[in-house]
């Protein structure tokens, strides 16, 4: 009995450590993003922090890599979280997070050009198109992970908070994206994008914290 229980306890501890480490990593990323934003004396969208020639480009790349590493760690720790509806039970929030992290990795290495022009019309470049597509898909995967988590029966508090953040990120990021696309209220659109980014990262930290508390405090049955 002891020989069987030890690996399970060890695995639970490893999940707790991964969740804590991942939450800290994405928390540092959020600090770097906002620190970089405060260094720039003009309104801009999140991706512009990493644009070619920007003094914040290096810090922005580091922040995205921290999100990739931290998000992957939290995803591994949360791999037991499952959604109950059949339409959502395919895959898991962890898989969605890993997909999102993969696209964030692409976005961190393929940054937009100076000014982050929209990837259509005369300003079209494959570099801007690749970065924009990767960023959009990464956000979409993160929102899908939130929706999946909102239907997790074993984590009721996390589920309720996840549906709120999913709706908030989808609405706020979508509105900011449309403002950017149509060059309407660009200042407001850029601020909405930063708010959506902050909420998404905060949710990832929340997910890691909940998983860590459960993993490190709740004993496993023998």
The pLDDT value given to residue 152: 81
Structure token digits, residue 220: 């496993």
Structure token digits, residue 221: 């049955």
* Cα–Cα distance, 153 to 147 (Å, whole number): 13
The pLDDT value given to residue 174: 79
> Across the chain, where does the E strand assignment appear?
none
Q: Mapping DSSP to helix (H, G, I), strand (E, B) and coil, where does residue 102 land?
A: helix
> 71 near 22, Cβ under 8 Å?
yes
The Cα-based distances of 131 to 86, 106, 126, 215 in angstroms read 33, 7, 8, 36
Structure token digits, residue 38: 């405060």
Q: Which of 3, 68, 9, 31 shows the shortest CA–CA distance to 220?
A: 9
The pLDDT value given to residue 89: 60
The pLDDT value given to residue 190: 82
Tell me the pLDDT of the chain (222 aa) as tens digits: 334 334 366 788 888 899 999 999 999 999 999 999 999 888 888 989 999 889 999 999 999 999 999 999 999 999 888 777 666 666 789 999 999 999 999 999 999 888 777 777 777 889 989 998 999 899 899 999 999 998 887 777 888 889 899 899 888 887 877 666 656 677 777 888 899 999 999 999 999 999 998 877 755 443
Beta carbons within 8 Å of 195's beta carbon, 6+ residues apart: 172
The pLDDT value given to residue 181: 65
- What number of CA atoms fall less than 13 Å from residue 22's CA on the CB side? 32
Structure token digits, residue 32: 């770097």
Structure token digits, residue 215: 């993993």
- The CA R_g of the chain, rounded to the nearest whole Å, is 18
Q: What is the pTM of this model?
A: 0.87
Helix, strand and coil content of the chain, in percent to the nearest 5, comes to 75, 0, 25
The pLDDT value given to residue 187: 76
Structure token digits, residue 53: 């020639």
Structure token digits, residue 89: 């039970």
DSSP 150-192: TT-TT-HHHHHHHHHHHHHHHHHHHHHHHHHHTT-SHHHHHHH
């Amino acid at each position: 009995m002891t020989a069987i229980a030890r690996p399970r306890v060890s695995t639970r501890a490893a999940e707790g450590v991964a969740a804590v480490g991942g939450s800290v990593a994405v928390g540092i990323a959020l600090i770097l993003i906002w620190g970089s934003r405060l260094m720039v004396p003009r309104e801009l969208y999140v991706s512009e922090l990493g644009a070619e020639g920007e003094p914040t480009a290096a810090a922005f790349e580091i922040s995205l890599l921290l999100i990739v590493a931290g998000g992957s760690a939290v995803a591994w720790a949360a791999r037991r979280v499952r959604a109950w509806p059949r339409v959502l039970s395919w895959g898991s929030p962890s898989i969605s997070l890993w997909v999102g992290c993969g696209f964030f990795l692409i976005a961190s290495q393929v940054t937009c050009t100076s000014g982050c022009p929209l990837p259509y019309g005369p300003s079209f470049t494959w570099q801007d198109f690749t970065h924009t597509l990767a960023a959009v898909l990464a956000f979409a995967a993160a929102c899908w992970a939130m929706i999946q988590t909102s239907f997790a029966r074993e984590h009721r508090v996390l589920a309720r908070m996840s549906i709120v953040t999913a709706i908030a990120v989808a609405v706020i990021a979508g509105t900011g994206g449309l403002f950017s696309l149509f060059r309407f209220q660009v200042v407001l659109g850029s601020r909405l994008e930063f708010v959506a980014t902050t909420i998404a990262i905060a949710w990832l930290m929340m997910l890691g914290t909940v998983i860590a508390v459960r993993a490190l405090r709740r004993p496993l049955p023998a």
